[in-house]
Structure 1
Amino acid sequence: MAEKTINPILKQVLELGPTLAFFLIYLRIRDETFTFGGTEYTGFIVSALIFIPILLAAMAVLWMLTGKLSRMQVFTAFMVIFFGGLTAYFNDERFFKMKTTIVYGVMAGLLGIGLLRGQSYLQYVMEEFLPMEKEGWMIFTRRLCYMFAALGIANEIIWRTQTTDLWVKLETFAFPAVLMVFLWVQIYRLQQYFIEPAEAAKD
């Protein structure tokens, strides 16, 4: 199926909406306890389980409208389902919290492997949207690798030492905001490596 163009605002709603929904549901039921099959579950765990079908529904709509899902979106959905399942099976919210650490860790690891091979895997994914010289891609990839590693370490420290309330707020708003600002700053600082559209077309 060919990729289609959709309203960018709708695209953002479908991509970010499930996480915001998780946050709002958690705020609503965080102090409640639910019993299923004779087992008690906290509001956090129930919120995490409700988040899974919401995420899958949003991804299904996005795929129907655009004809495409990124590998990162598919990977994230798999991690949410897998660790959500472990969270429910063991009735232990730590599995869902460590999911974020593993996602960031895998991303840092993949980029790091590419760097060790003298390649920028980030370039393979983003070159079509951001034409740039190889040196620029290597710098961008190295910095993003460090950022993913830092976010993974931060998540691990936060969920182990802070309250669930704080972790949910940081997971929903702080981590994505930090990453977004970081990406924009890097794009601004790497402008000297940008390739003009006409020059890129010649290549």
Structure 2
Amino acid sequence: MSNIESDTKPTAEERHHPLLKVALEIGPLLVFFFGNLRGEWLAKTFPTLTAVGGPLFIATALFMVATVISLIVSKIIFKHLPIMPFVSGVVVMVFGSLSIWLQDETFIKMKPTIVNALFGVVLLGGLFFGKSLLGYVFNAAFQLDTEGWKKLTLRWGLFFLFLAVLNEAVWRNFSDAVWVNFKVWGTMPITILFTLAQMPLIMHHSLDAERKVESGDKAE
């Protein structure tokens, strides 16, 4: 884990360039969206791209390139690789390559399912063995008591599994355009809302809050 750190353990560079960090994380998704939206135009403008396949395959290839660039820049500027984008990037490269090689869109569409299911199973599996693994990821951002970490880990584990099921439902029942829009503009707002919904739990189980209460009691 020397080169792969948690998303919430910011380096000095990340604190100085927060917008760049966000741009590097969501940039590949925007490239994927643009590649699918303008796939035909890109094929006409750059004929060599037709060797990759149709618009979704062109978007997939651009997504893979953008992901690699994002991870390289993150390593150079921020001195580490954020673990979730890194794992997602590995899956992107594997499933994206399979999609283009076999000319089968199924692989790239299943990538979010695989990533989210993986995170969900790891978190819930850790709980089964008595480990609140989320604490190892977020402990640099805030400190919770044991019960708080267990509850938060359980919620995030179930949420990741929910995202996996939701992705399967969307790509299997709707058009490519709907799936791409959902992947870019649907998943992120849902995740942000879920994260905000966890703030009451975090505040209730925060060790900092407990220390303030204890300090107040002693002062009285």
Output the CA distance in 2 between the equivalents of 1:40 and 1:60: 24
Distance in 1, matches of 2:40 and 2:196, equals 34
Tell me if 1:134 matches 2:146: yes
Q: Point out the structure with max Rg over C-alpha.
A: 2
SS in 1 for 2:191: helix
CA distance in 1, matches of 2:131, 2:111: 27
- The equivalent of 1:119 in structure 2 is 131
The aligned counterpart of 2:215 is none
| Post-superposition CA distance 1:144-172 (Å, at most 9, x none) | 11111111011111111110000000101
1:12 and 2:43 matched? no
- The TM-score, its normalising length taken from structure 2, stands at 0.83
Return the alpha-carbon distance in structure 1 between the equivalents of residues 137 and 66 of structure 2: 26
Unaligned runs of 5+ in 1: none
Quote the offset at 1:111 in angstroms.
Answer: 0.5
Aligned to 1:65: 77
Match of 1:158 in 2: 170
> Aligned equivalents of 2:66 and 2:35: distance in 1?
11
Secondary structure of 1:175's aligned partner: helix
- Indicate whether 1:176 and 2:184 are aligned: no
Moved more, 12-21 or 163-172: 12-21
Q: Report the AA paired with residue 126 of structure 1.
A: F
The letter for the 2-side match of 1:23 is F
With a CA cutoff of 8 Å and minimum separation of 6, indicate the structure with the bigger relative contact order: 2
Q: Of residues 193, 199, 202 in structure 2, which corresponds to 1:190?
A: 202
Q: Which of 104, 111, 135 pairs up with 1:99?
A: 111
Kindly report structure 1 stretches of 4+ aligned residues shifted beyond 3 Å. Answer: 1-4, 30-40, 197-200
Cα 1:123–1:76 change in 2 (3 A) is same
Q: Indicate if the aligned counterparts of 1:4 and 1:67 stay in contact, CA closer than 8 A.
A: no
d(CA) in 1 for partners of 2:75, 2:52: 36
Distance 1:72 1:37, change over 3 A: closer
Q: Is the 8 A contact 1:33 1:41 kept in 2?
A: no
Instruction: Note the C-alpha offset of 1:190.
Output: 3.1
SS at match of 2:12: coil
Q: Please say if residues 113 and 163 of structure 2, whose CA atoms lie closer than 8 Å, have aligned partners that are also in contact.
A: yes
Equivalent residue letter for 2:21? K
Counterpart residue number, 2:88? 76
> Which residue identity is paired with 1:89?
W
Residue 51, structure 1, aligned to residue 63, structure 2: yes
In the TM superposition, residue 33 of structure 1 has moved relative to its aligned partner by 6.5
Provide the rounded CA distance (Å) in 2 between the counterparts of 1:185 and 1:38.
44
Give the superposition deviation at 1:13: 0.9
Is the counterpart of residue 148 in structure 1 residue 156 in structure 2?
no
Q: Aligned equivalents of 1:193 and 1:77: distance in 2? A: 33
Distance in structure 1 (CA, Å) of the matches to 2:179 and 2:48: 25
Secondary structure in 2 matching 1:119 = coil
Residue 31 (structure 2) pairs with residue 21 (structure 1) = yes
> Which residue identity lines up with residue 26 of structure 1 in the other structure?
N
Aligned length: 200
